[in-house]
Amino acid sequence: MGLTEGLTESQIVERASGRRPGESRRVKLGVEERSFASFRAGEWDDFAEATGGSFLGSWRVINVRRLFGRVRLFNFLLVEGTQEPRKIGQCAVLVHNGEVSFLDKIQLAGAYQQLSRKCLDLVMRRFGNVAYSYGSQWNDEAEFDLGGIERFEVGSRIFHLDLIDCGKWADFAAYRRGVSENIRRDYKKAKDAGTVVKTSVGLAAMRDLFALVAMRGHMMRRNTESFSHVFDYLLHAAKLLVLGQRGFIVTGKVKGRCYAAFFGAEVGDRLYYISGGTRSSRLGVGSYLLLTLIERWFAKHPTGKLLMGDCGTACDQPIHNCGNLLYRRKLRVRSVHGVNFHLKPKPEASGNGNFTAANERP
């Protein structure tokens, strides 16, 4: 299987394997590099979905990243005694301009989440003393162990992601009763006005791009932010092309006129709110669109999640008291820990490594 590096037996692996300390055979954690061609159709995405990877770590996205540098793929394998190595994780990294960037995160099976630091160490041994970046604004990962990285300067951005966790509610009816009275009132007004919510997926969503960009333009003007309709259109068109059937646009219209639009991505039981906008009105279409989308997600994935994005604060208990954050609070979001960090070799360590892979051209 091409195992070239390993770690000795650990109590973490013993617990994850369901055995009591002292009962396990010798266990090693190894890493192997694989080519793109070695993955069968759906293999990468199936594992990514099962381990909570975001749309940034999907097969189509990492393939597109090959346009910007060399992308290398790694499997993490657990070897127990004489048994065949068993895959417990995977990751993709972009090698460009002397930096190794993890695309999304290290995707680990649930029982082995504690091994993320050990996996990071294995990848770093492959590349040596170069710069590393890890995580993204969509990486809702438990706090990462960055202790003992002596030869690197660590730049860690602590942040939180807001999400609606369907599993925390008995059903959609219970969730809707739990949202704020203002949201429920807007929902009723929009429903009485005959709001029509439509979802278009993949390339079929291109026909709704003008509506999406128009709604985003209305929102940006309200917030007095600069905005280019042409650039925004091209940007979202490119995202739809890259995401394929994972990307979608939802519109909310009254008598044929669009009042709200939502651009998102679907990965397994996780729905990502990437962008959106609303037209100023008193009809409550934005709330109706979101609750309709959430209701459909409850029906499809009763324990799924809707991720709303970074809440822009580093405190353990984020306060959502104004603007968009206040609206999220009315939707009863929960804030979870996110991971995003950078490692830069210290000057005295930069000359110690002889590994040149980070400077390879694609």
pLDDT in tens, 28-45: 999 999 999 999 999 999
Mention every residue, 6+ apart, whose C-beta is less than 8 A from residue 138: 54, 55, 56, 104, 161, 272, 307, 309
Go through the domains of the chain in sequence order and give each one's CATH number: 11-144+340-359 (3.40.630), 162-338 (3.40.630.30)
pLDDT over 90 at 24, yes or no: no
Q: How large is the average pLDDT for residues 274-303? A: 96
Q: What is the spatial distance between Cα 92 and Cα 62, in angstroms, rounded to a whole number?
A: 7
* Lowest-confidence region among 10-19, 150-159, 195-204, 260-269: 10-19
**pLDDT grade for 361, boundaries at 50, 70 and 90:** very low
Bigger pLDDT: 8 vs 65: 65
Question: How many C-beta neighbours within 10 Å does residue 147 have?
Answer: 8
pLDDT over 50 at 359, yes or no: no
Sign for the CA dihedral angle at 90, 303, 266, 319 comes to negative
Q: What is the spatial distance between Cα 330 and Cα 101, in angstroms, rounded to a whole number?
A: 36
Mention every residue, 6+ apart, whose C-beta is less than 8 A from residue 355: 126, 127, 128, 129, 130
CB 78 within 8 A of CB 13: yes
Place of tokens 């050990």: 118
Q: What is the spatial distance between Cα 87 and Cα 215, in angstroms, rounded to a whole number?
A: 45
Place of tokens 């706090």: 143
**pLDDT grade for 26, boundaries at 50, 70 and 90:** confident
**pLDDT at site 351:** 54
pLDDT over 90 at 353, yes or no: no
pLDDT in tens, 310-335: 876 655 556 666 677 788 889 999 98
* Lowest-confidence region among 6-10, 241-245, 291-295, 339-343: 6-10
pLDDT over 70 at 349, yes or no: no
- Which 3 state secondary structure label does DSSP give 294? helix
**pLDDT at site 240:** 97
Mention every residue, 6+ apart, whose C-beta is less than 8 A from residue 336: 140, 160, 161, 163
What is the secondary structure of 234-254 as a DSSP string?
HHHHHHHHHHGGGEEEEEEEE
Q: What average pLDDT is seen over the chain?
A: 88
pLDDT over 50 at 117, yes or no: yes
CB 136 within 8 A of CB 101: no
pLDDT over 50 at 177, yes or no: yes
**pLDDT grade for 358, boundaries at 50, 70 and 90:** very low
Beta strand pairing call for 107-108 and 131-135:
unpaired
**pLDDT at site 355:** 45
**pLDDT at site 48:** 95
Share of the chain above pLDDT 90, in %: 71
Q: How many residues does the chain have?
A: 362
**pLDDT at site 196:** 98
**pLDDT at site 326:** 82
Alpha-carbon 63 to chain mean position? 16
User: Which of left, alpha, beta for 249 (phi over 0: left; psi -120 to 50: alpha)?
Assistant: beta
Bigger pLDDT: 264 vs 314: 264
pTM of the model: 0.86
Q: Which helix (H) or strand (E) holds 162?
A: strand 159-165
pLDDT over 60 at 284, yes or no: yes
pLDDT in tens, 179-215: 999 999 999 999 999 999 999 999 999 999 999 999 9
Sign for the CA dihedral angle at 178, 169, 326, 307 comes to negative
Q: What is the spatial distance between Cα 251 and Cα 277, in angstroms, rounded to a whole number?
A: 10
Place of tokens 């992601």: 161
pLDDT in tens, 221-257: 998 999 999 999 999 999 999 999 999 999 999 999 9
Q: What is the spatial distance between Cα 219 and Cα 210, in angstroms, rounded to a whole number?
A: 14
Phi–psi pair at 101, nearest 5 degrees: -110, 125
Q: How large is the average pLDDT for residues 35-58? A: 95
Q: Which helix (H) or strand (E) holds 184?
A: helix 181-192
User: Which of left, alpha, beta for 141 (phi over 0: left; psi -120 to 50: alpha)?
Assistant: beta
CB 182 within 8 A of CB 330: yes
